[in-house]
Amino acid sequence: MRSLQVKALTPQDLTAAVDLDRRCLGGLWNLDGYQREIHSPNSDLLVLQRSEKTEEEKSKGQRAKGEGNTRHSTLDTPHSPALLAIGCSWAILEEAHITLLAVDLDYQRQGLGQALLYCLLKAAHNRGLERATLEVRVSNQAAIALYENFGFQTAGRRKRYYAETGEDALVLWRGGLHHPHFPQTLANWQLAASDRLGRSGWQLQELEAKNQEAGNSI
């Protein structure tokens, strides 16, 4: 199992964040933009990063080298960026505006986007927010499918929202973050995210810890 950590972006991560943004989002925010988010009390800017290798992983790697096995294990990918995924949500009145969600290209379809979206919605709930919203390109079927899994529904369409391509945006909303049953929904999402990551060979430390502690922190 490879270990993942979820944490708030720190000043030390800024260069890696800009790099991930450039590769996955075509350069949505620059370094100043990320720096502003770090200091904004209304912003939850979260990242997933690979944890240090465990002793077991290190010794497995050494054994593989000793046996002359230079192939990547099936769990490894060609490069190991510092940050694997990034997501951001702004608290505006009682709404969570999800402004950013991206997973490194080499690590997509392994459950990281699902896990990070769960963490953002959990953070929004912890702030006492009531609903979440975001804009997504009409052609972005991967993201739309992910958001729909979390109960987001299309509420409108902004014509030619993306200036560079003239593409429309769908406006998605997810209500009920403050309802009494929402903690149970969060617990279900947490289990689903943990299970999905596990099937891809990942373990998210905080998710596992929270499974046992029944939901605090992020």
The residues that are catalytic are 135, 147
**Binding positions for ligand COA, 92-121, rule CB under 6 A:** 101-103, 108-114
Whole-number minimum distance, CB 75 to ligand COA, in Å? 15
Residue 181 interacting with ligand COA (CB under 6 A): no
Taking the least distance from each CB to ligand COA, the nearer of 59 and 149 is: 149
Q: Is the dihedral of CA 151, 103, 52, 75 positive or negative?
A: positive
The stretch near ligand COA (CB under 6 A) out of 7-15, 42-50, 121-129, 135-143 is 135-143
Q: How far is the CB of 116 from ligand COA (least distance, A)?
A: 8
Q: Which two tokens stand for residue 90?
A: 């702004």
Bridge partners (DSSP) of residue 143 are none
Q: Does 136 bind ligand COA (CB under 6 A)?
A: yes
**Which of 35, 140, 154, 211: binder of ligand COA (CB under 6 A)?**
140
Three-state secondary structure call for residue 57: helix
* Alpha helices by DSSP H, 71-218: 112-126, 141-149, 182-199, 205-213
- The reply on whether position 49 binds ligand COA by CB under 6 A is no
Cβ atoms within 10 A of the Cβ of 72, count?
Answer: 10
Backbone angles phi, psi at 174, to 5 degrees: -135, 110
Residue carrying the six token digits 């989002």? 25
- Cβ proximity to ligand COA: between 96 and 102 the closer is 102
